[in-house]
Amino acid sequence: MTLKRAVTGVAVVVSLMSSLAKAGVTKEEWGKTAAGTPVQIYTLSDNDLKVRIATYGARVVSIEAPDRKGKMGDVVLGYDNLGQYESDTTYFGSIVGRYGNRIAKGTFSIDGTAYHVPLNNNGNALHGGPAGFSGKVWAAKEVPDGVEMTLVSPDGDMGFPGTLTARVQYTVEGKSLKINYLATTTKPTVVNLTNHSYFNLAGDGKRAILAHVLMMPADFYTPVDATQIPTGELAPVEGTPFDFRQPIAIGARINDGNEQLKIGGGYDHNWALNGKGDGLHVAAKVYEASSGRTLTVTTTQPGVQFYSGNFLDGTKTGKGGVTYQKYAGFCLETQHFPDAPNQPKFASTLLKPGETMQSETVFTFGVQP
């Protein structure tokens, strides 16, 4: 073997070993809930990403990603301790369900039987009702490169039929945080699971996200009524402040005199993504100039709820004593459409016994010079 071939062979081996490198996974106790239930935090770390996941709400507590100079920074909002999360109403980092987003008047029907979810948002049910999945302690086990969280929601929980077993797998691979959702049920039910992380790519939560540049490949969005329930229409984004098909600053049109923006005090709407089929497709791309950080969101879901942090009002003191003002963070909640159980034109969220609801969303971080 020549020296050139030997060196090439070593390079191939090194490259292969690098590609097969596994994320480190560690576990630690994080305290107990007010009811006395122990809560753990799992830390998933690769060279380019460090993610902490708590069993309380199966939530993302932190994501540390490098800026263009290689300095690590936490790019999600949250709190320093478990007690703050227990009293929180913003859903920071949590898995929301059994039905993420809104159900009109908390009511839906399956096979002629009406079901009622307790109301907790402008006369509607939001994120599974007042005692949804975000406030539960999930069971956890380590899996390759990550952690799997499991929650068994009993028949009748928050008014939903069927015993639902939800599993959420978080894994870190390189610069990507992957979230796989799975659910099964003992009776026909509706389910819409998503993650409710608030991002601020500047890495400190002190500055508003209005200068972040956002692109979403969606020709249509779903307008809402005064209580933020979809009207059932798929409206074109063309010629409106909801057109993010080309990159534009989040704040560029947020104060336009658009009636839809007035309803939520900014963006809090579902976009119908252009991606087709069951595979991963782009939901959003975001860039923050001061840090150079980028975020690309891909998903198998048909929609994404872009929320610009309109209801943060300075009353929440987050990590490191930072007070979260309006627009301190944004959410990109991949999902089926809000109120789909009552909207026959929307893709169904019905899950039957013997079926498995499955979806995947990937958050990939990078930098631009």
As to burial, measured by CB atoms within 10 angstroms (0-12 exposed, 13-18 middle, 19+ buried), residue 342 is: middle
Q: Which two tokens stand for residue 30?
A: 């994080």
Taking Cα atoms as reference points, which of 128, 64, 118 lies closest to residue 96?
128
Pairing of strands 268-272, 303-307: antiparallel
- How far apart, in whole angstroms, are the C-alpha atoms of residue 110 and residue 356? 18
Amino acid at site 239: G
DSSP-assigned beta bridge partners for residue 268: 307
Residue with tokens 């369900």: 97
Could you confirm whether 196 is annotated as catalytic? yes
Catalytic residue among 148, 173, 196, 212: 196
Q: Phi and psi at residue 251, in whole multiples of 5°? A: -85, 0
Which strand (E) or helix (H) includes residue 93?
none
- Side chain identity at 282, as an amino acid letter? V
Task: Decide if 96 contacts 305 (C-beta within 8 A).
Answer: no
Are 202 and 106 contacting, i.e. CB atoms less than 8 angstroms apart?
no
Which of the residues 148, 173, 333, 360 is marked catalytic?
333
Element (H, E) at 123: none
- For the record, the structure tokens of 277 come out as 């089929």
Catalytic residue annotation: 196, 333
